[in-house]
Amino acid sequence: MAGVGAIDSELLGGLFATVPMCAVWSDGARLQAMLDFEAALARVQSRLGVVPHAVGEAVAKAARAEFYDPAEIGRKVPLGGNVAIPLVKELTARVEGEAAGFVHWGATSQDVIDTGLMLQAREGLNLLRADLVRLGDACAALTSAHRATPMAGRTFLQQGLPTVFGLKTASWLESVERLILRIDGVIEQSLALQFGGAVGTLASLGPHGAQVRDELAVELKLHAPAVPWFTTRERIIEIGEAVGAVAGIMMKIAGEIVLMMQTEVGEVFEPAAPGKGGSSTMPHKRNPVGAATARAAALQAQARAAALHSTMDQPHERATGGWQAEWGLVPELFVLTAAALQPLVTVLEGLEVRADRMRENLEMTKGLVFAEAVMMKLAPKTGRAVAHHILEAASKLAIAEDRHLKDVLKADKAVTAHLDAREIDGVFDPLGYVGSADVFIDRALGSWRDARAEDVG
Please tell me the predicted confidence (pLDDT) of residue 456: 87
Q: Which residues of the chain have pLDDT under 70?
A: 1-3, 274-285
In the annotation, is 233 catalytic?
no
What are the DSSP calls for 115-150, one per residue? HHHHHHHHHHHHHHHHHHHHHHHHHHHHHHHTTT-E
What is the set of domains in the chain, with CATH numbers?
108-359 (1.20.200.10), 368-427 (1.10.40.30)
Residue 344 · residue 250 · CB < 8 Å: yes
Distance in angstroms (rounded) separating the CA atoms of residues 191 and 122: 7
Question: Which amino acid, one-letter code, is at 284?
Answer: H
What are the DSSP calls for 377-409, one per residue? HHHHHH-HHHHHHHHHHHHHHHHHTT--HHHHH
Q: Three-state SS for 300?
A: helix
Please tell me the predicted confidence (pLDDT) of residue 357: 97
Residue 4 · residue 13 · CB < 8 Å: no
Please tell me the predicted confidence (pLDDT) of residue 8: 85
Residue 373 · residue 427 · CB < 8 Å: yes
Q: Which of 129, 318, 359, 452 is catalytic?
A: 318
Residue 247 · residue 298 · CB < 8 Å: yes
Q: Which of 144, 204, 279, 436 is catalytic?
A: 279
Q: Residue 116 burial by CB count (10 A; 0-12/13-18/19+): exposed, middle or buried?
A: buried
In the annotation, is 295 catalytic?
no
Residue 88 makes CB contacts below 8 A (sequence gap 6+) with 38, 103, 104, 109, 112
Number of helical (H) and strand (E) elements in the chain, helices listed first: 19, 4
Residue 297 makes CB contacts below 8 A (sequence gap 6+) with 15, 16, 247, 250, 336, 337, 339, 340
Q: How many Å from the N-terminal Cα to the C-terminal Cα in the chain?
A: 46
Residue range 311-352, pLDDT digits in tens: 999 999 998 999 999 999 999 999 999 999 999 999 999 999
Please tell me the predicted confidence (pLDDT) of residue 209: 96
Q: Three-state SS for 163?
A: strand
Please tell me the predicted confidence (pLDDT) of residue 12: 87
Please tell me the predicted confidence (pLDDT) of residue 1: 54
Q: Count Cα neighbours of 239 within 13 Å in the Cβ-side half-sphere.
A: 27
